[in-house]
Structure 1
Amino acid sequence: MSEKKKKLSFLGRIIFFFNAVFAALLLLSYILPYAVPKSFPILSVLSLLVPVFIVINFFFLFFWILNVRKQFLLSFFVLIIGYSHVTSLYKISDTTTKPTENTISVMSYNVRLFNIYEWLKDESIDKKIVELVRSESPDIIAFQEFHRNQEPAFSFYPHKYVALKSQNKKTGQAIFSKFPIIHKGSLEFPNTPNNAIYIDIIKYGDTIRVYNLHLQSLHINPETEEFSQKNSERLLKRMANTFKMQQSQAELFEINRKNCNYKKIILGDFNNTQFSNVYKTIKGDMKDAFVEAGKGFGKTLDFSYFPMRIDFILADESFTVNTFKTFSEHYSDHFAIKSVISLD
């Protein structure tokens, strides 16, 4: 009886084969942040599937444990090796700390033009977004896909920088601030309405640069895309080209950041996940506010198939992240995020 217990059945061997495949894919995903999109565009597309690989390996882990099989060790060791990947996907509990006096609350929100084209069947979306921001009252809020018609609605902020880049000069990025802005600027990304803007503020005796970053969009709607073989090949090619553009944009951003000696906070929609080379490039040694003080999956994109975190708040190592919140209000195809950080 014990001898039979040691041997896998034919079905068990098939299951373990697929286990090995997904364990290998997860291992491969650990090097994806080091795979430059310009050189390995298809590998970069795989970074979007890392949450799936993690979840499937957890499934195999528990399957083998419940069946009292040593095969659980394969997924167990692969998940342990990628511990930082797992914790950046899901936080069991938040690690909030008591804010000190030197705090700044920041918020980031891709508002999808305040629903001007009625993607959501609710005519009051624009007012609900304004009310959400008013009630949360962050010291600084960064909007991606901002529409100039909404500028007067945020008059309760005394300082602002609105940079409109589209052909009709009606849409772009915006930052509203309770603190005076001593300098501001825009980083122009070629051949796209996406860009990065920044403001410099003085707070607690320090000059702080706050970036609002919106990288190239994938322009994929899973509900309307036709996933035929021919269209899937075209879709993969389009995604690969997008990731190459994102890398170029990240490199332009990096030049500006290296030339700035101020403490920095980065807010924005990267249109890519925390498992990508683009995220690794932008994050550098900075703190990811979700990893520091978040909870759950931190899902920021309204995507039905698996949780995707593509909106980020990053802070220099000189900051302490006190709190992080992902909002559940469904006013856009993104969910707002907010963090309270302290200047040490």
Structure 2
Amino acid sequence: MKKLKFFGKIMFLVNSLAAFLLLISYILPYVPPKNFATLSVLSLGVPLLLLLNILFFVYWLLQVKKQMLLSLIVLLLGWSYLGSLYKFSSSKQIEDTNNISLLSFNVRLFNMYSWLPSKTVKADIEAFIKREQPDIICLQEYRTKDPIELEGYYGYNTTFNNAIKRGQALFSKFPIVNSGSLEFTNTSNNAIFVDVVRAKDTIRIYNLHLQSSGVNTDVDELKKGSSEQLFKQVGTTFKAQQQQVELFLAHKAKSPYKTIVTGDFNNTAYSYVYREIKGNDLVDTFEEAGNGFGKTYDFKYFPLRIDFILADKRFSINGFKTYNGLKLSDHYPIKATLSLE
């Protein structure tokens, strides 16, 4: 620090703070929000912290300063986090006669409140699904009062708000032999599941929509609220998510089938709820076959991946795609291609 000029010292202090926060974030997946709700909020900022530390490392490297070691060491300690943030390899796409394609998409009530200027969002979503022809479709914030028309699919959905008639929906080209809903308390969010039969296999598919914080992600709006209020609100949300995940895990533990878990987790891959859902028996299909940032939520200041398709390790992950050029919701659709070994 003594050899740094004033600006350099300021930069290194900011660098130290970013490195410290990133280091702290590495323990967050192991800390239940019910115990440390305020600390768990930091998981949302991990993508930004990773990018900041990468930039600081490059900054000091170009100046040939030993200060580059701080961010470098912290980044190396969390090497697996980088794989969740960005995949350098190209998207995998393996053709297999046993392939199953699964699409997950939070459709935001088909733009019922005109968040987007387009008047044809619902029709455009229908056209997109018909063009892609996924074998299984998992939709969140689906409006059952205004359903989409899909030929060749079996369907199951639930309604939680009688005025808006919204919930989650699942469609399958394979026969549905069982279905149900997991009732989350004091919320309009829920999870649904179906058991589908493909050839000689029965597959359990969950479609989750975990608790949303209800925070407006527009930066100008965020500035209007106090940081204390924001942390409290998000902390309360994460506590609710933990309770919802515990209910889901208890239900999943009773299933004898190979399982796929999809949906809008309203949290990142660096969170406690993600780690609990993934467990030891599921893999993140983006990490296996995706590329780039895998951004699934429309937040313009840094990439947020909060929508996931997690598959049983007995599946081969043959492809993954994020449709982040498709502006039909505040989320982007994701599709995974899998086959049974």
TM-score (norm 1): 0.94
The alpha-carbon deviation at position 240 of structure 1 amounts to 0.7
CA distance in 2 between counterparts of 1:110 and 1:343 reads 26
Partner of 2:18: 22
Partner of 1:3: none
CA distance in 1 between counterparts of 2:16 and 2:227 reads 26
Whether the 8 Å contact between 1:111 and 1:332 is mirrored in structure 2 is yes
Once the two structures are overlaid, the 10-residue window that deviates more, 255-264 or 99-108, is 99-108
Whether the 8 Å contact between 1:329 and 1:335 is mirrored in structure 2 is yes
Whether the 8 Å contact between 1:99 and 1:341 is mirrored in structure 2 is no
The alpha-carbon deviation at position 76 of structure 1 amounts to 1.0
The alpha-carbon deviation at position 90 of structure 1 amounts to 0.8
Partner of 2:340: 343
Partner of 1:207: 202
Partner of 2:329: 332
Partner of 1:217: 212
The alpha-carbon deviation at position 15 of structure 1 amounts to 2.3
What is the correspondence of 1:1-344 to structure 2 with a 5 Å cutoff?
7-151=3-147, 153-168=148-163, 170-223=165-218, 225-228=221-224, 231-285=226-280, 286-327=282-323, 328-344=325-341
- For structure 2, which runs of at least 5 residues remain unmatched after alignment? none
The alpha-carbon deviation at position 280 of structure 1 amounts to 0.5
Whether the 8 Å contact between 2:100 and 2:337 is mirrored in structure 1 is yes
The alpha-carbon deviation at position 167 of structure 1 amounts to 3.2
Two-structure CA RMSD over aligned residues (Å): 1.7
CA distance in 2 between counterparts of 1:208 and 1:251 reads 21
TM-score (norm 2): 0.95
SS of structure 2 residue aligned to 1:227: helix
The amino acid that maps onto 1:112 is R
Once the two structures are overlaid, the 10-residue window that deviates more, 90-99 or 122-131, is 90-99
Once the two structures are overlaid, the 10-residue window that deviates more, 191-200 or 158-167, is 158-167
CA distance in 1 between counterparts of 2:222 and 2:6 reads 37
The amino acid that maps onto 1:194 is N
The amino acid that maps onto 2:10 is I
Once the two structures are overlaid, the 10-residue window that deviates more, 309-318 or 98-107, is 98-107
Whether the 8 Å contact between 2:143 and 2:164 is mirrored in structure 1 is no
CA distance in 1 between counterparts of 2:91 and 2:108 reads 31
Q: 1:269 to 1:257 in 2, by over 3 A?
A: same
Once the two structures are overlaid, the 10-residue window that deviates more, 219-228 or 281-290, is 219-228
CA distance in 2 between counterparts of 1:11 and 1:234 reads 33
SS of structure 2 residue aligned to 1:126: helix
CA distance in 1 between counterparts of 2:14 and 2:92 reads 39
* Cα displacement string for residues 302-322 of structure 1 (whole angstroms, at most 9, x for unaligned residues): 112211000000000001111
Whether the 8 Å contact between 1:99 and 1:342 is mirrored in structure 2 is no
The amino acid that maps onto 1:303 is F
The alpha-carbon deviation at position 17 of structure 1 amounts to 2.5
Identity, % of aligned positions: 50
Aligned residues: 338
The amino acid that maps onto 2:192 is I
CA distance in 2 between counterparts of 1:245 and 1:76 reads 35
The alpha-carbon deviation at position 169 of structure 1 amounts to 6.8
The amino acid that maps onto 1:42 is T
CA distance in 1 between counterparts of 2:164 and 2:298 reads 27
CA distance in 2 between counterparts of 1:119 and 1:113 reads 10
The amino acid that maps onto 1:255 is A
The amino acid that maps onto 1:300 is T
CA distance in 2 between counterparts of 1:109 and 1:81 reads 33
CA distance in 2 between counterparts of 1:23 and 1:121 reads 40
The alpha-carbon deviation at position 87 of structure 1 amounts to 1.1
The alpha-carbon deviation at position 97 of structure 1 amounts to 4.7
Whether the 8 Å contact between 1:105 and 1:138 is mirrored in structure 2 is yes
